[in-house]
Amino acid sequence: MKKVLLFLLCLVVACATYAQNYPHQSDVLWVTTPSNTNWLYRLNEEAKVTVSLYEYGILQDNIKISYSIGPELMPSDKTGTATIKNGKALISMGTMSKPGFRDCQLKVQLNGQEYNHHIKVGFEPEKLTPYTQFPNDFVSFWEQAKKAASQCPMEVTKVFVPEYSSDKVDCYLIKLQAFQKGNFVYGYLTIPKKEGKFPVVFSPPGAGIKPMNPSKDIFYAENGVIRFDMEIHGIRPDLDAATYAEVSRAFGRGNNSYLVNGLENRDSYYMKKVYLSCVRALDYLTTLPEWDGKNLIAQGGSQGGALAIVTAGLDERITACAANHPALSDMAGYKANRTGGYPHLFTNYDGMDTPEKLKTLEYYDVVNFAKLIKVPVFMTWGYNDDVCPPTTSYIVYNTLKSKKEALITPVNEHWISLTTRHRILDWIKGNLR
């Protein structure tokens, strides 16, 4: 019962988070339609957006709205008001002379309450390139790091988890020693409950320190694919939410966040052990007797999407990679007077803009791992995402030199639909060896 209640709580929170542009059960609906149906424009081409507003499903008229427009996640360069007449208002979003995105933020007051909305459009984003440089010793640094980490003995504890198992799937909680002796990571391993050999999907987590629940992706194992959902902090993923909240307050926020811990040096940065623990997870997964011996796929979203790409770049055992809106991508992009990638170090944290920290970022940025990938990659992202902005997703995608496929969903913020999640699995199955 405790697991069920936790899952329901996570589902409610997820729904509240995901429906960002169209709040659940809101009385007000914004409809914003760009003048170009694909939301994309040529450089120096004017972008316009038509705005309509509904309250209780009734098209509103003679309503004044305010707007602010500027490059995404940067200060606005245009503000004003517009009046909806005959059910519509037409707003010019201006243009850009360099590749990127502009964001139109909208506000309206109705019955004493403020309602917000936004829409982003792109200007030749296929031409976006990374600010982040590729260090000359990038490959040798990680080869040496992997070699050192491989000396750590692989110790595994495997415990059957009946509450996540069924007549189709067996679930196990895995504790895995990684990186160095005494350092562990956890994860849920779900395996089809039938005879045969199966492809394996390695799935690292999104950002944060929080409980895990494999139920949302149990359909992988139900469809004949082994899946390992990994935890990266060495904290049991089955602890209660209150305990995780305490840990997160101490270790997951602001300048205490693991995402900036040790950033002044490439060897002390917290994410080094995370990246190397992903490689250790592959060491374990390739020993499974149920593995088909051929297919090892990295898949994830946000921070998990970043780690999927990192792992595919670090380890040639990966045979395909699927990532939605990857974080940790061109993080120093703010130095180019545009947005950088999550965790937005230059706007959310103090003291990040130093030569030492900028140099460390080069060894951990997703764009540099993307340059090493030789296997098929599937990516999907939305334009309205402010967590992992489309600028940085495009930069990663543009950097890839291997076979690649993109599903672009402009209206999406920091979420993907259940349909898209199943489409990712279909792509994985379509790229098996």
DSSP 46: P
CB-CB neighbours of 283 under 10 Å: 17
414 is catalytic: yes
| 171 vs 159: CA distance, rounded Å | 9
| 258 vs 275: CA distance, rounded Å | 13
For residue 363, give both structure tokens. Answer: 């060894």
Do 130 and 399 contact (CB within 8 A), yes or no? yes
Residue of 118, 233, 344, 414 marked active site: 414
Residue of 257, 302, 329, 393 marked active site: 302
Peptide bond into 326 cis (omega under 30): no
| 367 vs 359: CA distance, rounded Å | 14
385 is catalytic: yes
330 is catalytic: no
Tell me the C-alpha to C-alpha distance, in Å, between residue 201 and each of 189, 266, 317, 319, 351. 10, 29, 12, 10, 38
Alpha helices in 227-270 (DSSP H): 241-251
Which residues are within 8 A (CB) of 216 and not within 5 positions of it... i.e. 6 or more apart? none
Do 314 and 278 contact (CB within 8 A), yes or no? yes
Active site residues: 302, 385, 414
